[in-house]
Each structure stands twice: as structure tokens, then as C-alpha cells.
Amino acid sequence: MVRIRLARRGRKKGAMYDIVVADAKAPRDGRFIEKLGTYNPISNPAKVVLNVEKAVKWLLNGAQPTDTTRALLSHEGVMLRKHLQVGVRKGAITQEVADARFEAWKQEKSSRIEVKVDGLNKKQADVKLAKLEAERKVNEARAAAIAQKNTAAVATEEAPAGEAAPAEEAAE
């Protein structure tokens, strides 16, 4: 049986995966038939680089994806493309209609990804502004404390040793 699955690579706690077509009996990181793409779960949003045409070809030829790989293929539109291609083979729709539906799905998907990336960038910018504002408040508080300390030191230096400080005179 031929499987479409992930082959791990990368360093400890920094995994990247290759999406490969391999015999089901082959070891996870061992021999494979063909590499279809890569998957990087560390980045946000996760980055998938995939040759859609090769993946559809393997699915139509009977390769079975693992659960995780099925989710990735579905996310990238490979499963939809396969579904549309089966409809074309059966004569339910034409190739032009299938291509138009897939392109419409792809555009809608890319707009959703752009919205997510924009939201993440805005969130990072807001967090950065909040940190800068908090740092500015701390710096102002420190500057005020230093200024108060300096004015107190200047006031005690101006008063001669035998005379009372101005604050003491007002109290009498």
C-alpha cells in the first residue's frame, strides 16, 4: 500500500516535515518514492509548500494519506481538486467548470489567510505599543523621583550648617 505521509527533519523542538509518498512498510524517515512538498508548523501561520498536481495524481492513483497529511492536503485544496477531477472523469462537470471552482476557492482561501496575517501583525504592533507605553511611564516615574531627590539635595546644600532649612523655618 502506498501512503502520503510526513517525514520529520530539522532539529530538536524545531521540526520541519517533508510531505512524501512512501510504501506503508518503509520507516517514517526512511525510503520514499517521491517528495511532494514541505510543512513547517513552527511559523505562524504554518507554512505548507506543496506540488498540488503531483499530490492529486497520487491520490487519483490510489495513494492513501495519513490523518495529518489529509488535513494538510485539504487545507491546501488538494482534496477539493481531487473531488472535482473525479467529477470530470465521471462526466458530471467539465474541466473548465472544475478549474473555475478551484480558482474561486483558492482566491477565497488566500483572502482568509491575508486577514489572519493582518490580524497577527496588528496584534503584535498593539503589544509592542503597550510595552513601549508601560516603559515610558516607568521612565517618567524614575525621572520624577530623581528630580525630586535632586531638588531635595540642592535645598539642603543651599542652607548653611548653622541655620535651619527653609522647611524647618516655616514650621516654627
Q: For residue 108, which phi and psi values (nearest 5 degrees)?
A: -65, -40
Query: What pLDDT score does 149 carry?
Result: 86
Domain ranges of the chain: 2-93, 115-172
Question: Model's pTM, two decimal places?
Answer: 0.66
What type of residue sits at position 129?
Answer: L
Helix, strand or coil for residue 81? helix
Helix, strand or coil for residue 12? coil
Write the pLDDT tens digit of every residue in 79-104. 999 999 889 888 888 889 998 999 99
Secondary structure tally for the chain: helices H, strands E: 5, 5
Taking the C-alpha atoms of residue 4 and residue 40, their distance in angstroms, rounded to an integer, is 17
When comparing pLDDT for 164 and 114, which is higher?
A: 114
Write the pLDDT tens digit of every residue in 19-44. 999 988 888 787 889 999 999 999 87
Query: What pLDDT score does 161 carry?
Result: 56
CATH architecture of residue range(s) 2-93: 2-Layer Sandwich (3.30)
